[in-house]
A and B are shown apart, each in its own frame.
Chain A
Amino acid sequence: MGSQARLEKHKESKNSHRSIALKILVPVKRVVDYNVKVRVKADGSGVDLANVKMSMNPFDEIAVEEAVRLKEAGVATEVVAVSCGVAQCQETLRTAMAIGADRGILVETDAELQPLAVAKLLKALCDKEQPTVVICGKQAIDDDANQTGQMLAALMGWPQATFASKVALADGKATVTREIDGGLETLEMNLPAVVTTDLRLNEPRYATLPNIMKAKKKPLETVKPADLSIDVAPRLATIKVSEPAKRSAGVIVADVAQLVEKLKNEAKVI
């Protein structure tokens, strides 16, 4: 093969590699910051969210990071961040774009959104955007539901890999290692698929100032649930929110001997 021909061949393979679009959709949720200790409202109607710092759900940050790494590795071609909720979710989308997502979609509503409703909104967006993979956080740290990714997979009729600690995409398949009770398991699945992230998948980067600035110029589209013809009415009514029983501090023992004595004779647990 002459050098010119080799060059042509090289270009061709590069182009054919590029022509395979692999889009990743990453849903991100705006939640109370990880470090905030929430307070239950005195009237039992919920928790007090006034003047509380809000951030991207930590597991969603891991999801964005994973998608961006797949793009940087040349596996994915586009990363689209999606958030469902109030107008301020734009900030969460900008954070995702500062990490490296290419664009954002906000499904804007002031209504209370429960996981099934979010899964339906995401399904509507998946029908439109046709992603190859959706990477979600496994659970949001506000409602601790751990449902949305699995529900989306069900609605799409796609396979799912929850609690992922390793993700590889190749030849139209995803190979995912999952954190399960008692250890790890590795699944292989057809694409498209839904993956949900566990904490050991990666360590999300800090967005740099230039990337934060760049993110402000990336496209952000806003739609309403009605535009997607989705009924987001909640199925669960919250009757009340209360504070859990407080555990009071016990005693500081002087030494190991006293500790063993208390465990044996006072608590009678050993």
Chain B
Amino acid sequence: MSILVIAEHDNKSLKGATLNTVAAAAKIGGEVHLLVAGSGCGDAAAQAAKVAGVGKVLQADAPHYDAQLAENIAALIVANAGGYSHILAPASTGGKNVMPRVAALLDVAQISDIISVESADTFVRPIYAGNALATVKSADAVKVITVRTTGFDPVAAEGGNAAIESLAAGPDLALSKLLGRELTKSERPELGAAGIIVSGGRGLGSSENYHKLLEPLADKLGAALGASRAAVDAGYVPNDYQVGQTGKIVAPQVYFAIGISGAIQHLAGMKDSKIIVAINKDPEAPIFQVADYGLVGDLFQLVPELTSAM
């Protein structure tokens, strides 16, 4: 039994989510191969070869894999799916985009967002915004899976010494093309991988307040910035800051929920954090039901105070 893991990378380096996905593959058991598809992705493939527990790296290098377009990447995975019992990718926007396409082309179900491996064909995944956990068993010959990274501790990035095998590129289907990307430029850690997250909600009142109050605190803590859906809807910050059922799922060491009431859709995205700190003026806010430490009061006064105390 061999397992194919789709690496997430930017051609130069491997994204951390790949390590959690390899960990899930290791739990299933069997030889793990990492597919690195990109353009000029030799550096990423070299890093992939060092990941602990990886048996082989498959590198598909072609200009039409640069943009990670779902049509081309899915076709490549399907063309190389033979012999694999499982195909895994992180449940990032990249994996969520490509993997259902792979599953449909293979005529199998996809098992989305697994948080636990029970056996080679049985997995646990959250449903209803994490208010229930479903244990599902797949009857398909190939299991196509996306992995919720917070469910699995990453394997070591170093220590492996896998061979890198070059894969023949498939044709450019030319169904779509990338016109451009606008990535949020930030010196801060990535939301999905941060040890500390400072997250803000509607209680901040404006985009200006969000940045004025939360950025100094995040800077002091070396934290990533996050937000509730309400704050995104109100236009305080871009959507890629969103933590919750339909945004990012995070589990940092400390999660600061500032001016966030704690709707179930938000809790779904952060309730596995080790320590939750809530600052809110409403003592009845549901966020206090899950917070390890709650501070009731005016965030406009408390947050600057906290920033200077750090």
Interface of A with B (CB < 8 Å)? 32, 34, 37-38, 40, 47, 59, 114-116, 119, 138-139, 141-155, 158-163, 165, 175, 178-190, 193, 198-200, 234-244, 247, 249-253, 255-257, 259-260, 262-263, 267, 269-270
What are the residues of chain B within 8 A of A189 when measuring CB–CB?
175-177
In the complex, residue of chain A having the shortest beta-carbon distance to the beta carbon of B174 = A190
Contact A144 B294 (CB under 8 A): no
Provide 7 A-B residue pairs closer than 8 Å at the C-beta atoms, listed in order of the A residue.
A114-B109, A146-B100, A147-B103, A163-B97, A183-B181, A236-B138, A260-B310
Would you call B112 an interface residue if the criterion is a C-beta within 8 Å of the partner chain's C-beta atoms?
Answer: yes
* Given A147-B110, A199-B232, A187:B139 Cβ within 8 A: no
Q: How far is the CB of A265 from chain B (nearest CB, A)?
A: 12
CA distance A263 to B69 in the complex (A): 44
Would you call B264 an interface residue if the criterion is a C-beta within 8 Å of the partner chain's C-beta atoms?
Answer: yes
What are the residues of chain B within 8 A of A238 when measuring CB–CB?
134-136
What are the residues of chain B within 8 A of A237 when measuring CB–CB?
136-137, 139
Contact A154 B74 (CB under 8 A): yes
What are the residues of chain B within 8 A of A178 when measuring CB–CB?
93
* Given A190-B176, A244-B131, A256:B305 Cβ within 8 A: yes
Q: Provide the main secondary structure of the chain A interface.
A: mixed
* Given A115-B109, A181-B240, A160:B293 Cβ within 8 A: no
In the complex, residue of chain A having the shortest beta-carbon distance to the beta carbon of B294 = A252
Contact A37 B134 (CB under 8 A): no
What are the residues of chain A within 8 A of B71 when measuring CB–CB?
153, 159-160
Contact B176 A161 (CB under 8 A): yes
Contact A200 B182 (CB under 8 A): no
Q: Provide the main secondary structure of the chain B interface.
A: mixed
Contact A144 B101 (CB under 8 A): no
Which residue from B101, B127, B181, B246 sits with its C-beta under 8 Å from A153? B101
* Given A236-B111, A249-B291, A38:B132 Cβ within 8 A: yes
CA distance A255 to B177 in the complex (A): 54
Contact B104 A159 (CB under 8 A): no
CA distance A256 to B302 in the complex (A): 7
Interface residues of B in 160-201 (CB under 8 A from A): 175-184, 190, 192, 196
* Given A139-B246, A144-B127, A199-B233, A155:B104 Cβ within 8 A: yes
* Given A115-B109, A183-B238, A256:B180 Cβ within 8 A: no
- Going nearest first, the 10 A-B pairs with the smallest beta carbon separation are A150-B100, A189-B176, A250-B292, A235-B109, A159-B175, A151-B104, A183-B183, A154-B104, A147-B100, A159-B176
Contact A151 B295 (CB under 8 A): no
Contact A270 B196 (CB under 8 A): yes
Q: How far is the CB of A236 from chain B (nearest CB, A)?
A: 5
* Given A116-B104, A183-B184, A263-B277, A144:B129 Cβ within 8 A: yes
Would you call B79 an interface residue if the criterion is a C-beta within 8 Å of the partner chain's C-beta atoms?
Answer: no
Would you call B209 an interface residue if the criterion is a C-beta within 8 Å of the partner chain's C-beta atoms?
Answer: no
* Given A150-B101, A183-B183, A252:B288 Cβ within 8 A: yes
Would you call B156 an interface residue if the criterion is a C-beta within 8 Å of the partner chain's C-beta atoms?
Answer: no
Contact A186 B136 (CB under 8 A): no
What are the residues of chain A within 8 A of B132 when measuring CB–CB?
38, 40, 47, 241-244
Q: How far is the CB of B122 from chain A (nearest CB, A)?
A: 7
A162-B70, A252-B293, A260-B309 are known; give 8 further A-B pairs, CB within 8 A.
Answer: A147-B100, A181-B94, A182-B183, A239-B136, A269-B254, A269-B274, A269-B275, A270-B196
In the complex, residue of chain A having the shortest beta-carbon distance to the beta carbon of B292 = A250
What are the residues of chain B within 8 A of A247 when measuring CB–CB?
271, 276, 289-290
Q: How far is the CB of A192 from chain B (nearest CB, A)?
A: 10
Which residue from A160, A161, A236, A270 sits with its C-beta under 8 Å from B109? A236
Contact A38 B131 (CB under 8 A): yes
What are the residues of chain A within 8 A of B138 when measuring CB–CB?
235-236
CA distance A59 to B93 in the complex (A): 16
Q: How far is the CB of B273 from chain A (nearest CB, A)?
A: 9
Contact B100 A239 (CB under 8 A): no
Which residue from A114, A151, A187, A256 sits with its C-beta under 8 Å from B176? A187
Residue interface mask B105-132, A partner, CB < 8 A = 1: 1011111110000000010001111111
What are the residues of chain B within 8 A of A187 when measuring CB–CB?
69, 176-179
Which residue from A151, A153, A239, A250 sits with its C-beta under 8 Å from B103? A151
What are the residues of chain A within 8 A of B245 when measuring CB–CB?
141, 144
What are the residues of chain A within 8 A of B253 when measuring CB–CB?
269
